[in-house]
Amino acid sequence: MSARPIKRIYFDHGATTPMLPEVIEAMEPYFAERCGNASSIHSYGREAKRAVDDARARVAKLINADPKEIVFTSGGTESDNLAIKGTAQYKGRTEGHVITSGMEHHAVLEPCARLKTAGFDVTELPITRDGFVEPVAVEAAVREDTVLISVMMANSEVGTIQPVREIASIARARGIPFHTDAVQAVGKIPIDVRKDNIDMLSISSHKIYGPKGVGALYVKAGTSIEPILHGGGHERGLRSSTENVPGIVGLGKAAEIAGKDINECNERMRGMRDQMIESVLKTVPDAYLNGHPTKRLAGNAHFRFDFIEGEGLVLRLDLLGIATSTGSACSTGSLDPSHVLLAMGLKHEQAHGSLRITLGRENTHEEVRYFLDVLPGVVSKLREISPFGNDRPMKGGMGERCVQ
């Protein structure tokens, strides 16, 4: 029998991360004691403005931008919406061509769908079997009337790191604004918006050990973009609303910490991740790795187990104290499997049997060992009780089995 865990184990850092104690400590004074509105001219206001400017400099430094190019927002979703709608619909434009990919986060796909309804043409680039957008596909999709290209830097599900520099160069050479949703990449891979030719880049604080509900959009100086929120003209007119000072301070601190030890953190996580992949593929029959074996985020492991459903697996693991996620969206009330896995060419039933592990800085080898100890038993138990376990190979969709 395996030892029981001493505490709960969090393996879902792709969904959100725990705030670091240093981040909480940095934010604390800005809730009450330093309560100023950054637009006020008295000492409280100046103190808040200094804190916001300081955070702006830290976020800018993490991606090699100028502080003036950082716009604070309410999170990754708003940053994506601002970049996409704010660029495509610049000066009331109502038509044009937008290029994105089939593996984007919904925060990119949905605003693009809106643009389509509004009269724009949208091309969704195909994804390779191991989870990449190919620069040649971007090249082929570009048209005379292309007004925006948006391709994410690292995928949220399978963790594949996209050839963003090559794609951005294609855009730059044609004078097309290039946006990248870097929410999963920031703090995990080194980013240099200048060298990478990026015009807009989305950041979310809660994916890098900062507070929820705050984010940033890098907008290269000179980019033609309009606000989507109108009001008092904060953030140089691009994002009205009183700055979330404690949140911004937290994001600034998280950005500072994230930039300090990327390599060291990655090395640790890669070690644990590779041990996990090797062991799972060896000890669990009919298990596969989704995505590319090496060109992926250090903490991301994404498996596929034949003959079972990801939800069942996530719930069983949760009973054992291990928090993970699945490529299937059943838990959110939808019967559709992950659009990312389907875009990679997986069949519905394959996509349904997926498990995502996203490691973070606080995870330990001991936690990984515990997971590896219990997983084979959990999978075989689920297969025993699965109606699909007995008459392999399984055929057809499993969608109707995903009722909550």
Verify binding: residue 309, ligand PLP, rule CB under 6 A.
Answer: no
- Residue 105 Cβ vs ligand PLP, minimum distance, rounded to whole Å: 3
Q: Cβ–Cβ contacts within 10 Å for residue 7, how many? A: 7
Verify binding: residue 290, ligand PLP, rule CB under 6 A.
Answer: no
The CB-nearest residue to ligand PLP is 76
CA 307 to each of CA 45, 327, 344: distance values in angstroms, whole numbers, following the listed order: 60, 15, 20
Please identify which residue in the block is written with the tokens 């929820």.
212
Task: Verify cis geometry, omega within 30 degrees of 0, for the bond prior to 393.
Answer: yes
Q: Give the C-alpha separation, 139 to 198, whole Å.
A: 16
Task: Record the tokens describing residue 211, joined without a space.
Answer: 């507070």
Q: Which of 59, 107, 219, 329 binds ligand PLP (CB under 6 A)?
A: 107
Collect all residues with Cβ–Cβ distance below 8 Å to 76 and sequence separation of at least 6.
105, 107, 181, 183, 202, 203, 204, 207, 215
- Residue 182 Cβ vs ligand PLP, minimum distance, rounded to whole Å: 8
Verify binding: residue 181, ligand PLP, rule CB under 6 A.
Answer: yes
SS3 285: coil
Q: Give the C-alpha separation, 401 to 336, whole Å.
A: 11
Instruction: Answer yes or no: 330 catalytic.
Output: yes
Q: Which of 13, 85, 97, 207 binds ligand PLP (CB under 6 A)?
A: 207
Q: Which of 58, 59, 76, 382 binds ligand PLP (CB under 6 A)?
A: 76
Q: Which amino acid is at 317?
A: L
Determine the interface stretch with ligand PLP among 73-81, 193-201, 325-333, 391-399 (rule: CB under 6 A): 73-81
- Residue 205 Cβ vs ligand PLP, minimum distance, rounded to whole Å: 7
Are the CB atoms for 58 and 255 separated by under 8 Å? yes
Verify binding: residue 204, ligand PLP, rule CB under 6 A.
Answer: yes
Total chain residues near ligand PLP (CB under 6 A): 15
- Residue 106 Cβ vs ligand PLP, minimum distance, rounded to whole Å: 8
Q: Give the C-alpha separation, 153 to 180, whole Å.
A: 6
Are the CB atoms for 279 and 372 separated by under 8 Å? yes
112, 265, 330, 402: the catalytic one is 330
Q: Which of 9, 11, 36, 75 binds ligand PLP (CB under 6 A)?
A: 75
Order of strands, sheet of 354-358, starting from the edge strand that comes earlier in the sequence:
287-289, 300-305, 354-358
Verify binding: residue 156, ligand PLP, rule CB under 6 A.
Answer: yes
Verify binding: residue 153, ligand PLP, rule CB under 6 A.
Answer: no
Determine the interface stretch with ligand PLP among 69-77, 136-144, 312-320, 327-335 (rule: CB under 6 A): 69-77
Verify binding: residue 77, ligand PLP, rule CB under 6 A.
Answer: yes
- Residue 214 Cβ vs ligand PLP, minimum distance, rounded to whole Å: 8
Q: Catalytic residue numbers?
A: 330
Please report, as ranges, the residues that interact with ligand PLP according to CB under 6 A.
75-77, 80, 105, 107, 152, 156, 181, 183-184, 204, 206-207, 215
